[in-house]
């Protein structure tokens, strides 16, 4: 008994009327390219701009923490800002902040 081969499916970009897969990905906001450089993310307080922000613990166990708190100005909320740096930019950021880098 031989197995039947599956039929090829028409790609979704062709079904939706796009001329190429690249056009489809651009319209849908999909990006298949991986970033070549290492990126670093830093969370920043929207009120004072400090990066001394942490998760606010509380509530029931296992539910997860949904709030952030700034340890500088005592702000707490959900809309914490996130900055993304390349490795070189991140090292400059740490130097300007005064952190010791080994």
Query: For 19-51, what is each residue's pLDDT tens digit?
Result: 888 888 888 877 666 666 788 899 999 888 888
Tens digit of pLDDT for each residue in 55-94? 877 766 666 667 889 999 988 888 888 998 888 888 898 8
As a whole number of angstroms, the distance between CA 70 and CA 47 comes to: 9
Strands (E), 17-102: 39-44, 53-55, 68-70, 76-77, 81-86
How many residues would you count in the chain? 102
Cα separations (Å) of 77 from 47, 53, 57, 82, 96?
Answer: 10, 11, 12, 14, 27
**Residue 42 and residue 86 in contact, taking contact as beta carbons nearer than 8 Å:** no
Which residues lie closer than 8 Å to 21 by C-beta, 6 or more apart?
A: 11, 13
Q: Is the pTM of this model over 0.85?
A: no
């Amino acid at each position: 008994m031989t197995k039947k081969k599956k039929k090829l499916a028409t790609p979704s970009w062709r079904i939706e009327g796009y001329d190429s897969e690249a056009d489809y990905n651009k319209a849908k906001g999909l990006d298949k390219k991986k970033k070549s450089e290492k990126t670093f993310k830093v969370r920043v307080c929207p009120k004072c701009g400090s990066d001394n922000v942490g998760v606010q613990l509380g509530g029931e166990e296992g539910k997860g923490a949904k709030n952030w708190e700034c340890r500088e100005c005592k702000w707490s909320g959900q809309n914490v800002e996130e900055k993304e740096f390349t490795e070189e930019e991140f090292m400059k950021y740490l130097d300007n902040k005064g952190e010791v880098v080994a």
